Amino acid sequence: MGNLQTATFGGGCFWCVEAVIQRLKGVEKVVSGYAGGAMKNPDYRSVCNGHTGHAEVIQVTFDADIISYEELLVIFMTSHDPTTLNRQGADTGTQYRSIILYHNEEQKAVAEATVAQLNPDFDSPIVTEIKALDKFYAAEDYHQDYYNRNTYAGYCQMVISPKVAKLKKMYAHKLKDSAVQAG
């Protein structure tokens, strides 16, 4: 099982981020959920109304001997637009903000350094929020592994499939063997 660690971040709809990150070598588990806000035990409806303070995020269990936290962050940051405040594509609201929720001071330092390193690569400044994780709430079961279970749904085809294709093009060497062939 190696050197298992946990990372939490969000970049718009959690279905999109989950579909990208779960295809990477070293990623053991991805859970879609909510974090970054104040409301206890939020559900999808309450988060979507934008009044909980929570963002749609994923929590990733990964083997740091196979993929580092920094590598995860670079792939995460290049799989969404970290320069748009509270928005990803047509999804708008604070629940869709770009956010990195660190679990310890080492992750905080790596996140800050990664954002600073990547900032010149974008046309606009990165607005990704970096803050300590307080509590993670798993989303409802029907949100888990969404893309893999609904690959041919309209949203998946229009929004998520291009992100997966970009991942395959940019990071093919980082993909699990099955992810290279699969959607």
Token readout for 9 is 């971040």
Residue 112: pLDDT band with limits 50, 70, 90: very high
For residue 140, count CB atoms less than 10 angstroms from its CB and return exposed for 0-12, middle for 13-18, buried for 19 or more: exposed
Which is catalytic among the residues 13, 16, 48, 156?
Answer: 13
Confidence bin at 180 (pLDDT 50/70/90): low
**Closest alpha carbon to 180 in 167, 60, 134:** 167
Nearest to 101 by CA among 148, 142, 53: 53
Q: Say whether 16 is catalytic.
A: no
Mean pLDDT of the residues in the chain: 95
4-175 CATH pick, 3.30.1060.10, 3.90.110.10, 3.40.190.10, 3.40.50.720:
3.30.1060.10
Question: What's the whole-model pTM score?
Answer: 0.94
Dihedral of CA 173/175/181/183: which sign?
A: negative
